[in-house]
Amino acid sequence: MKCQWLCVSLLTVCGSIVEAQQQQYGDPLQDLLISPEVLIHHQTEIGLPDRQVEQIRALLEKVGPKIHELQQRANSSMGRLAQLLSADKVDAEAAVRQLDQFLAIEKEQRLHHLRIMIQIRNELTPTQRKAALKFGQVRISEAGLEQRLKAKLNRVETELQSRAKTGPPPSDAVGLMQKFPVLMQNGQTREAELVLDRVIGTLGLDTPPSENERKMPPVRPIDLTLTADGLAAAEAQDEFYRMDEVQTIQLRIAPEDMQRLMAALPKRIYVPATFQWRDVTFDKVAVRFKGNSSANPNQRHKRSFLIKFSEYDKDVRFFGLRRVSFDNGVQFGSIFSEPIITEILRDQGLPTHRCNYARIFLNDQYQGVYVNVERIDKSFVEQHLPDADGALFKVDEGGPGCNLQFLGDDPSVYRTAFEAKSDSAKKARAQLVDFIRMINQTKPGEFAAALEASMELDDFLRVSAVMLFSGAFDQLTGWGPHNYYLYHDPGRDRWRYLPWDLDVGFCENAFGRINVLAGWHAAWPVAPSGRINPLMERITADPTLLKKYRQVARTILDKYFEPERLCGIIDANYELIKEDLQSDPFPHQRVTVPGDRGYDGIVESIKTFMRKRYVSAVEQLDNPGLRPEIVHRPAGGRNGGLPPRLAEQIRRIEHAAGQMQKAGQDILPIQKMMRKVPPLLQQGKTDEAEQMLDQVLQMVGVKPDEVNADSPPD
């Protein structure tokens, strides 16, 4: 075993020389060039056409065998060096020659990489290079990491050399240490440290760290089985979000922290927890409940979770991700709708959050099947959008201007609705107001050109069509002007719409009062909500833009929403999670359609919507006719199932809130109260729902005793 430690020492010295040179001169491979893997993985964000990607793949196939051969030669050379150093009497000259041979092979390998990256770089445009470098520059820059690594290596070397005097060292420790020089050679310093940590545990050296070690920054845990196979962070994310596999997540929260978490409701606070996925374990992450329904102390459904890795150490990442979230997937049927909708958007090359399924265990207790949803945050911007410095705004629960209605030049008026989610967004509020003003005040004849110059218009039209066909009504493009992000690309000076929280979809009549299927016309994409929607109104009113929308919509309808295709997808998704759903300990239903009972019923209900939506959309796009008038249909009856007075309360509130919004008044408090009503109805608490609606009526200036089932329309 002595040879292993000499190899490590030699490699550490060589690595230190290279590291010192890089500190002085920089690493040109990182600073100026981009790996082909980065270009392929981020094709859309970088703006590479398929032709360029195929050229890169062809180049990799051409030189791949040579690089693989060099890697095998390097491994073989290292093995021979190990043999020389394991002799009782080491031949110093032979060992040096072998080390020279290893370094020569490594040099040739780097030269091949360099030639490939130069060749690829020369084919990129300046814009593509700038975008690619943001994804390609991955560095290890934690201060004190090298010092800590050497300290741990010294402990392991000393212990193994001591044990070698009395017998062979533990095989587990030897197996782990064989990975160490390879990881060091590949520059995977963090992974190498994790190897040492595991060896220290195997050898029983888990003693308290020294004072110096305590001052050093912590290392991020990494799945060695992945990194040893060369799986980069981006590839690990793909594994985490792969659609054909249900992920397993273990969460552990101390009893006292669990008690604090519950006692704080409806306020959602972070508490420390342990997070595990595969062999990756984080001993201290922050966890809280996510979403309004999960904040309800009396919630009967499983609660959604938000995990934040960077809460206690801002530099900690889970394969590049700062946060991950797990939606309960039952509250509004999102366990089926969100994975389907996001996959359709991503297949069109639109920057969209990823999602799949996960089974969650909390303190070893099965919580059920969740939707594992990628967060739209700084990590998302860095990895999926053109410029990491672009401004990102979130419209969550509404507020003045959330519908992109112009309310004046004062940026502070829009602050409640548009939450700044990046540092640059805090400085870009004036640009946001300019964008909203353009939507509202540009002359009709100039609007199409102005919108195309200031927004990723084609992508927005695609999103609008997908939202309509899938019945995702709780969006700016539908009934609710919230649940979206706006991103500003400083390079192109254009805004991008990013849909979010796609947990409602594929239902004919939501909550018994939103006529998604009958009311949302495929050829006239403004939802009949009765609310002001300047962007959708102006697109619909502009003949050029409306024609463009209809062309885009027809293509998407035929490619993605053909009923048998979609039914096949939902059957496959259902089959993937069916067994786990059977033992899910929470109610098997969705609030949007209280009549759906059990997952079999939910699936059939979704399929029925798909078939009806496709038939009606084909007919509407083929024969648009005149724009339909907004019809306020009664909320009761066989589709609604709501008591007449309660239905009338909702109608009066919606009308009054619409008038308030037109006047530029803040209706956010009203929206917050109204979101508490559906869970009460789902739980059968009609009296409580009616009392809450009476409170909202007073907020909009209507006396509750004036409202009855026979009230005439406003």
Full DSSP string of 98-141: HHHHHHHHHHHHHHHHHHHHHHHHHTS-HHHHHHHHHHH-----
Please tell me whether residues 250 and 196 are part of one structural domain.
no
Per-residue model confidence (pLDDT) at position 236: 83
**Domain end among 227, 256, 286:** 227
If one compares 639 and 474, the residue with the highest pLDDT of the two is 474
**Domain end among 340, 357, 381:** 381
Residue 302 reports pLDDT greater than 80: yes
**Three-state SS at 521:** coil
pLDDT band at 227 (very low <50, low <70, confident <90, very high): very low
Please tell me whether residues 377 and 466 are part of one structural domain.
no
- Which residue type does 68 have? H
Residue 331 reports pLDDT greater than 70: no
Per-residue model confidence (pLDDT) at position 304: 92
Residue 709 reports pLDDT greater than 80: no
Per-residue model confidence (pLDDT) at position 592: 66
Q: Which residue, among 81, 103, 102, 101, has the nearest Cα to 92 in the 3D structure?
A: 81
Average pLDDT of the chain to the nearest whole number: 79
Please tell me whether residues 213 and 273 are part of one structural domain.
no
Whether 404 is covered by a domain: the verdict is yes
In this structure, how many other beta carbons lie within 10 angstroms of the beta carbon of residue 305? 25
Do the Cβ atoms of 180 and 190 come closer than 8 Å? no
Return the percentage of the chain with pLDDT > 70, whole number.
76
Task: Please state the domain count of the chain.
Answer: 4
pLDDT band at 591 (very low <50, low <70, confident <90, very high): low
pLDDT band at 91 (very low <50, low <70, confident <90, very high): confident
Do the Cβ atoms of 459 and 350 come closer than 8 Å? yes
pLDDT band at 228 (very low <50, low <70, confident <90, very high): very low
pLDDT band at 14 (very low <50, low <70, confident <90, very high): very low
Q: For residues 433 and 427, what is the distance between their CA atoms, to the nearest angstrom?
A: 12
Do the Cβ atoms of 323 and 581 come closer than 8 Å? no
- C-alpha torsion sign, points 633, 635, 636, 639: positive
Domain housing 360: 245-381
Report the range of poorest mean pLDDT among 325-334, 584-593, 602-611. 584-593
Specify the pTM. Answer: 0.61
SS3 sequence, 231-291? CCHHHHHHHHCCCCCCEEEEEECCHHHHHHHHHCCCCCCCEEEEEEECCEEEEEEEEEEEC
Q: For residues 488 and 95, what is the distance between their CA atoms, to the nearest angstrom?
A: 58
Strand order through the sheet with 419-420 = 419-420, 391-395, 484-489, 494-499
Per-residue model confidence (pLDDT) at position 672: 74
pLDDT band at 75 (very low <50, low <70, confident <90, very high): low
**Domain end among 622, 653, 673:** 622
Q: At what angle do helices 598-622 and 563-582 cross, to 10 degrees?
A: 160
Please tell me whether residues 360 and 391 are part of one structural domain.
no
Residue 144 reports pLDDT greater than 50: no
Do the Cβ atoms of 112 and 66 come closer than 8 Å? yes
Per mean pLDDT, which of 67-81, 217-231, 249-263, 618-632 is the most reliable? 249-263
Q: For residues 215 and 565, what is the distance between their CA atoms, to the nearest angstrom?
A: 57
Per-residue model confidence (pLDDT) at position 221: 36
Please tell me whether residues 318 and 395 are part of one structural domain.
no
Please tell me whether residues 680 and 534 are part of one structural domain.
no
pLDDT band at 262 (very low <50, low <70, confident <90, very high): very high
Per-residue model confidence (pLDDT) at position 184: 64
Per-residue model confidence (pLDDT) at position 54: 81
Tens digit of each residue's pLDDT (9 = 90 or more) over 362-382: 999 999 999 999 999 999 998
SS3 sequence, 595-618? CCEHHHHHHHHHHHHHHHHHHHHH
Whether 39 is covered by a domain: the verdict is yes
Report the range of poorest mean pLDDT among 72-76, 637-641, 710-714. 637-641
pLDDT band at 459 (very low <50, low <70, confident <90, very high): very high
Please tell me whether residues 292 and 338 are part of one structural domain.
yes
Per-residue model confidence (pLDDT) at position 206: 59
Do the Cβ atoms of 580 and 359 come closer than 8 Å? yes
CATH number of the domain that residue 586 is part of: 1.10.1070
User: Residue 70 CA to chain centroid, in angstroms?
Assistant: 38
Whether 630 is covered by a domain: the verdict is no
Element (H, E) at 391: strand 391-395
Report the range of poorest mean pLDDT among 12-26, 423-437, 621-635. 12-26
Element (H, E) at 55: helix 50-85
> Running DSSP on this structure, what letter comes out for residue 321?
B
What would the mean pLDDT of 667-683 be, rounded to a whole number?
71
If one compares 206 and 433, the residue with the highest pLDDT of the two is 433
Per-residue model confidence (pLDDT) at position 560: 94
Residue 19 reports pLDDT greater than 60: no
Q: For residues 1 and 5, what is the distance between their CA atoms, to the nearest angstrom?
A: 7
CA angle 103/105/109 to nearest 5° reads: 115
Per-residue model confidence (pLDDT) at position 30: 47
Please tell me whether residues 557 and 509 are part of one structural domain.
yes
Whether 641 is covered by a domain: the verdict is yes
Whether 239 is covered by a domain: the verdict is no
Per-residue model confidence (pLDDT) at position 523: 94
Do the Cβ atoms of 496 and 392 come closer than 8 Å? no
Whether 714 is covered by a domain: the verdict is no
The encoded tokens of residue 668 equal 């956010």
Residue where the block lists tokens 């997070």: 275
Per-residue model confidence (pLDDT) at position 437: 96
Whether 143 is covered by a domain: the verdict is yes
Please tell me whether residues 267 and 194 are part of one structural domain.
no
Per-residue model confidence (pLDDT) at position 6: 43
The encoded tokens of residue 540 equal 């619909």
What would the mean pLDDT of 408-434 be, rounded to a whole number?
94
User: Residue 687 CA to chain centroid, in angstroms?
Assistant: 39
Per-residue model confidence (pLDDT) at position 679: 63
Tens digit of each residue's pLDDT (9 = 90 or more) over 165-205: 777 667 667 766 766 765 665 555 656 777 777 788 778 77
pLDDT band at 330 (very low <50, low <70, confident <90, very high): low
Whether 152 is covered by a domain: the verdict is yes
Per-residue model confidence (pLDDT) at position 505: 84
Please tell me whether residues 373 and 455 are part of one structural domain.
no
Alpha carbon of 245 to those of 357, 372, 577: distances in Å? 7, 11, 9
Per-residue model confidence (pLDDT) at position 134: 64
Q: Which residue, among 262, 191, 272, 185, has the nearest Cα to 226 in the 3D structure?
A: 191
The encoded tokens of residue 179 equal 């990975």
Residue 386 reports pLDDT greater than 70: yes
Residue 441 reports pLDDT greater than 80: yes
Please tell me whether residues 441 and 512 are part of one structural domain.
yes
What would the mean pLDDT of 464-485 be, rounded to a whole number?
89
Please tell me whether residues 200 and 57 are part of one structural domain.
yes
